[in-house]
Amino acid sequence: MILVLENEVDTEARYFVPEIRRHLEAAGASVSVYPYADAGGRPDALAGADGVVLSGSTAGVYETDSYPWMDELRSLVRELVDEGVPTLGVCFGHQIVNDALGGRVEHRGLRKGIETVRFAEDPLFDSVGSRVPMVHGDFVTELGDGMERIAAADYYENLGSRHRDAPLWSVQYHPEFTDALLPQIEADFGWPTGGSDRDFDGVSVERTLANFVRLAIE
- Quote the Cα angle for 125-145-213, to 5°: 30
Amino acid 195: pLDDT: 83
Known active-site residue 79 = no
- For residue 155, report the phi and psi dihedrals to the nearest 5 degrees: -90, -5
Respond yes or no: is residue 176 known to be catalytic. Answer: yes
CA atoms of 133 and 174, how far apart (whole Å) = 8
Q: Is 10 left (phi over 0), alpha (psi -120 to 50) or beta?
A: beta
pLDDT for 194: 81
168: which strand partners? Answer: 87
So what's the pLDDT on residue 68?
A: 98
CA dist list (Å): 204 to 44, 97, 127: 33, 24, 8
Catalytic residue among 6, 136, 174, 206: 174
**Catalytic one among 8, 91, 136, 206?**
91
pLDDT > 70 fraction of the chain, expressed in percent and rounded: 100
Catalytic residue, from 6, 19, 115, 176: name it.
176
Cβ of 18: how many Cβ atoms within 10 Å?
14
* Domain locations in the chain as residue ranges: 2-217
CATH class of 2-217: alpha beta
3-class SS of residue 54: strand
List, edge to edge, every strand of the sheet that includes 51-54: 31-34, 2-5, 51-54, 87-90, 168-171, 156-163, 147-153, 118-119
pLDDT of 60? 98
Concatenating the DSSP letter of every residue in 122-164 gives -GGGTT--SEEEEEEEEEEEEPPTTEEEEEEETTEEEEEEEES
Pairing between β-strand 156-163 and β-strand 168-171 as defined by DSSP bridges:
antiparallel
- pTM for the whole structure: 0.96
Per-residue pLDDT of the chain (218 residues; tens, 9 = 90+): 999 999 999 999 999 999 999 999 999 999 999 999 999 999 999 999 999 999 999 999 999 999 999 999 999 999 999 999 999 999 999 999 999 999 999 999 999 999 999 999 999 999 999 999 999 999 999 999 999 999 999 999 999 999 999 999 999 999 999 999 999 999 999 999 888 999 998 899 999 999 999 999 98
Q: Note the pLDDT tens digit of each residue in 118-168.
A: 999 999 999 999 999 999 999 999 999 999 999 999 999 999 999 999 999
Q: Would residue 91 show up in a list of annotated catalytic residues for this protein?
A: yes
